[in-house]
Structure 1
Amino acid sequence: MTTTPAFEIKNPVDGSMGFRMVHFEDNSPFKDLQRVGHFSIIWLYEGEGLLKADFTEYTISKGTMLFFAPGHPFMITGEHVKGVMLNFHHDFFCVIKHHKEVACDGILFNNISQTPLVNIPDNEAPTIRMLISQVENELQVAGLAQHDLLISYLKILLINVTRIKVSQDVVKPAPTEQTVESEALQQFKAYIDKYFREKHSAGEYADLLNMTVKNLGRIVRDYYGRTPTDMITERIIVEAKRELYLTSKPIKEIAYDLGFKDEYHFSRYFKNAINTPPQAYRNSLKKAWS
């Protein structure tokens, strides 16, 4: 693998990756199928190649920027591919929470029916390059309020690229069996966002989609390499983390808001998902990133 050493911030709760930048000089980091557990932004400085994602192959070249949500499968082949990759975890920057500010959820991330790439025009590239340089400098310096400053740079980057993508025409391919399945996946994710507070089982979502649990499980597993229950749980946990970090609501109230019958069941559900009780998560994250 040909990469420069990564600049990385750890999640203070469990020591996992919170935010990372790495430069790459070939496609070796992406030559095998990727299903990473964090958001990824990849910008090609040089070269050309082929991206395989969303049941489709895309030609990529200098200036292409790629966006992948957690679990989004992809791989890149090509020669002389060089660029930079940014990775961030939900705990570091929640795309769902900041949707109203940056409007990128469903445009850059979490939209199976659209292409996961944006071609950055030459006249916009200096602005994007400057923002990435500012992120890199802040990762190296680690000064006062580093987390807040990195979030600000990331927001500006996402806003700029969202505007670029919205302005670009996207031609959708003719419907095929695979695109029909991708639309079902998109609808499944939309239903999760709408009903995660009240519907916690795969069967409830299969009913909404007028399909069997087995068929829903198959298409989710084929695309994401996960189960529908995994995805439902992830959405509930993302919202729980947001409430624990950003509000002072009692855990009992959070549990009720998320559809749990009592605090005990919610706490057990949360701990099973991330191996940390809700109160411990709230205390450690606020202390580390305050």
Structure 2
Amino acid sequence: MDIFNTYTLINEHTGDLAFRIWDFEDNNEFCKVKRLNHYSLIWIKKGSGTATIDLSEHDFSHSTMFALTPYQPFKFSEKEQLEGVVLNFHPDFFCIHKHQDQVACNGVLFNNIYTPPMQYIDDNTKSEFEMLISNMRTGIQNVGLAQYDLLVSYLKVFLITASRSKAKQHPEELEAVYDNEPFILQKLKNLIEANFKTKHSASEYAELLNITPKALAKITKNHFNKTMTNLISERIIIEAKRELYLTDKSVKEIAFNLGYEDEHYFSRFFKNNADISPSVYRETVGFARAVS
């Protein structure tokens, strides 16, 4: 049996998954591409393999945790037998965008276009995770007053602990191809953040940085293993998802705010990058579902 010790909380209004903890002891659940409509924290305790996430491949070994957003495509290819634990939670249960000030995991654990969605779990963090997971399992079993608040409080601590752990692992100094490349990388991040709604081409950012498009392509490939187009597209999709999560704005209005005058072109762009249409995404994880 590949799945055991499963603890699940169901949304009583929709009948769908709200929160779940489950253990696994092989790769049967991850050997084919998954696109789940909830957040997933997958902690590989034993084994090794290669993770394919958003078309990028990442080798991993034991004591690795992956943080995946709704509909983010992923699969694992096993080299040594995998064992671990998974936390799943739906945005209806806990929305990282709404609680960013409390948890600050958005942009660290999730939705970080510059670093892989994975981290090493050291012994100290492992002990904290084990205690929190045990408390969550107990909380799911004990149905009663304030069950939701109790489970959310444990999840918040788990996310904060994971975010702090990953932040510590992020290298402070980047290996440079050019002497001033670390400065260029930081400036590029700032420029994408300031201009992704209006500037959608690599050449525009190369011009802002006063370097050639070829040089910029080399930098993004070396440090992010992505093209400049990938970085821009991923940042736009993150913002679009946030709007679909939290607001009742029409897809046309969201598209316009992100620099797309043609709603249908934007919808195709979203589906090509998120593997699902904006309307279906909203219906399954966003504002429309939350208020229904």
Normalized against structure 1, the TM-score is what? Answer: 0.61
Write the letter of the residue equivalent to 1:239. E
RMSD of the TM alignment (CA)?
Answer: 4.9
Q: Give the CA deviation at 1:3.
A: 0.2
Q: Provide, for residues 80-127 of structure 1, a one-character-per-residue CA deviation record: whole Å limited to 9, x for no partner.
A: 422210112333322233333222223222344346122232x33222
User: For 1:31, what is the secondary structure of its paired residue?
Assistant: coil
1:277 and 1:124 map into 2 onto residues whose CA distance is: 34
Q: Give the CA deviation at 1:76.
A: 4.1
Q: Name the structure 2 match of 1:215.
A: none
Residue 26 and residue 202 in structure 1: after superposition, are their counterparts in 2 closer, same or farther (change >3 A)? same
Write the letter of the residue equivalent to 1:144. L
Write the letter of the residue equivalent to 2:22. V
Q: Give the CA deviation at 1:77.
A: 0.8
Residue 84 and residue 126 in structure 1: after superposition, are their counterparts in 2 closer, same or farther (change >3 A)? same
User: For 1:124, what is the secondary structure of its paired residue?
Assistant: helix
Q: Give the CA deviation at 1:286.
A: 5.8
CA contact (8 A) 2:33 2:73 kept: no
Structure 1 stretches of 4+ with a deviation exceeding 4 A read: 169-176, 187-196, 205-211, 228-234, 274-278, 281-284
Q: Name the structure 2 match of 1:52.
A: 51
Write the letter of the residue equivalent to 2:51. K
Q: Name the structure 2 match of 1:239.
A: 243
Q: Name the structure 1 match of 2:2.
A: 2
User: For 1:143, what is the secondary structure of its paired residue?
Assistant: coil
Q: Name the structure 2 match of 1:154.
A: 155
CA contact (8 A) 2:31 2:75 kept: no
User: For 2:127, what is the secondary structure of its paired residue?
Assistant: helix
CA contact (8 A) 1:26 1:79 kept: no
Q: Name the structure 1 match of 2:127.
A: 126
Q: Give the CA deviation at 1:131.
A: 0.6
Q: Name the structure 2 match of 1:85.
A: 86
- Written as runs of structure 1 = structure 2, the 5 A alignment for 1:1-290 is 2-4=2-4, 5-10=6-11, 12=13, 15-45=15-45, 47-53=46-52, 54-58=56-60, 60-61=61-62, 64-70=63-69, 71-109=72-110, 110-114=112-116, 116-121=118-123, 123-168=124-169, 170=171, 232=236, 235-243=239-247, 259=257, 273-274=278-279, 285=290
CA contact (8 A) 2:113 2:234 kept: no
Q: Provide, for residues 230-281 of structure 1, a one-character-per-residue CA deviation record: whole Å limited to 9, x for no partner.
A: 985674353354346xxxxxx79xx79x849xxxx9xxx9xx8446999xx8
1:158 and 1:237 map into 2 onto residues whose CA distance is: 20
User: For 1:129, what is the secondary structure of its paired residue?
Assistant: helix
Normalized against structure 2, the TM-score is what? Answer: 0.60
Write the letter of the residue equivalent to 1:43. W
CA contact (8 A) 1:90 1:238 kept: no
Q: Give the CA deviation at 1:140.
A: 2.1
Any gaps of 5 or more consecutive residues in structure 1?
Answer: 177-183, 212-221, 245-250
Residue 193 and residue 80 in structure 1: after superposition, are their counterparts in 2 closer, same or farther (change >3 A)? same
Write the letter of the residue equivalent to 1:167. K
Q: Mean Cα displacement is larger for which, 233-242 or 154-163? A: 233-242
Write the letter of the residue equivalent to 2:23. H
Q: How many residues align?
A: 248
1:166 and 1:130 map into 2 onto residues whose CA distance is: 21
Write the letter of the residue equivalent to 1:57. D
CA contact (8 A) 1:27 1:79 kept: no
1:283 and 1:55 map into 2 onto residues whose CA distance is: 34
Residue 282 and residue 209 in structure 1: after superposition, are their counterparts in 2 closer, same or farther (change >3 A)? same
Residue 97 and residue 32 in structure 1: after superposition, are their counterparts in 2 closer, same or farther (change >3 A)? same
Residue 239 and residue 30 in structure 1: after superposition, are their counterparts in 2 closer, same or farther (change >3 A)? same
